Amino acid sequence: MGNIALAAKITHVPSMYLSELDGPNKGCREAAIKGHKEISRRCRELNVDTIVVFDTHWLVNSGYHINNAAHFKGCYTSNELPHFIKNMDYEYDGNPELGESIAQAATKAGVHTRAHSDTTLPLEYGTLVPMRYMNEDRAFKIISISALCTVHDLECSAVLGQSVRKAVEENYDGNVAVFASGSLSHRFAQNGVTDQYSFKVWSPFLQAMDESVVKMWENGEWDTFTALLPEYADKCHGEGFMHDTAMLLGCLGWDKYQGKVEVVTPYFGSSGTGQINAIFPVS
């Protein structure tokens, strides 16, 4: 029936929004923005109608959750970095039917998941920043899934990702894109020296680990990467404990995935963190 048409690991650094504004940082994230626009272009070529975002800025302490509203509209200011993202208007449409199907498939697979349709839950900026550049014309419906999972196993997140694919292929008539919205290493620059790390990774160790991981992705070394993912997420401060990445790979086949990643926006440092836009071919 339905089809996972495109999968990607994407950045959502708030300096992308700052990059739009007049001032000393204008244009500083043009490469990342162009990467988002390229991913959007490919989604349109593939007739994608819905984007599922695994959002590492949505923190949950129990279970898995889907922001499954039929419509999203608001004015967003980041409580984390209010000097980067403030008063950002947004409006998108949801896909409650598909969101409910994903929740049912995941729960049936043993990973209890709730789809919240009658809700005032706002979208978080792990979803809002990418959609600003990919979906300004509201061409795509949006489903946002919590991926800052504080007491969850990565294996369970992989099952959730697998359930997204099952729900799409068995119970949906359309084309869907899935995005892991989060960084590689995510050690923010220490307070007081932030400006020195605006375009840098926090340490040579973290950068070397990130670059090694990207090479594994480009070479298709998924058995190696999935084996090291828990320790990598821990020791390299993976954003959202890298549950977004586990969900993405669960959707694609976990250690049996055979794709070789295409880097759209080359690896870059931002406020100490390691970032990328990369497409994971769907097999």
Residue in the structure block whose two tokens are 């869907």: 176
Distance CA 267, CA 132 (A): 21
Q: How far is CA 1 from CA 165, 168, 278, 283, in A?
A: 11, 7, 26, 16
Residue 210 corresponds to which tokens in the numbers above? Answer: 């990130």
pLDDT, mean of residues 49-70: 98
The 3-state secondary structure of the chain, one letter per residue: CCEEEEEEEECCCCHHHHCCCCCCCCCCCHHHHHHHHHHHHHHHHCCCCEEEEEEEEEEECCCEEEECCCEEEEEECCCCCCCCCCCEEEEEEECHHHHHHHHHHHHHCCCCEEEECCCCCCCCHHHHHHHHHHCCCCCCEEEEEEEEECCCCHHHHHHHHHHHHHHHHHHCCCEEEEEEECCCCCCCCCCCCHHHHCCCECCHHHHHHHHHHHHHHHHCCHHHHHHHHHHHHHHCCCHHHHHHHHHHHHHHCHHHCCCCCEEEEEEEEECEEEEEEEECCCC
pLDDT confidence of residue 1: 85
Instruction: List pLDDT tens digits, range 175-211.
Output: 999 999 999 999 999 999 999 999 999 999 999 999 9
Residue 98 pLDDT: 98
Mean pLDDT, the chain, rounded, equals 97
Residue that has been written with the tokens 């504080």 in this structure: 150
Task: Read off the amino acid at residue 225.
Answer: F
Residue pLDDT, tens place only, 153-173 = 999 999 999 999 999 999 999
Q: Once rounded to an integer, what is the mean pLDDT over residues 141-161? A: 98
Fold topology of 3-279: Protocatechuate 4,5-dioxygenase; Chain B (3.40.830)
Instruction: Give the model's pLDDT for residue 178.
Output: 99
Please tell me whether the overall predicted TM-score, pTM, comes out greater than 0.85 for this model.
yes
pLDDT level of residue 112 (50, 70, 90 thresholds): very high
Residue 105: predicted pLDDT: 98
What does the pLDDT read at residue 180? 99
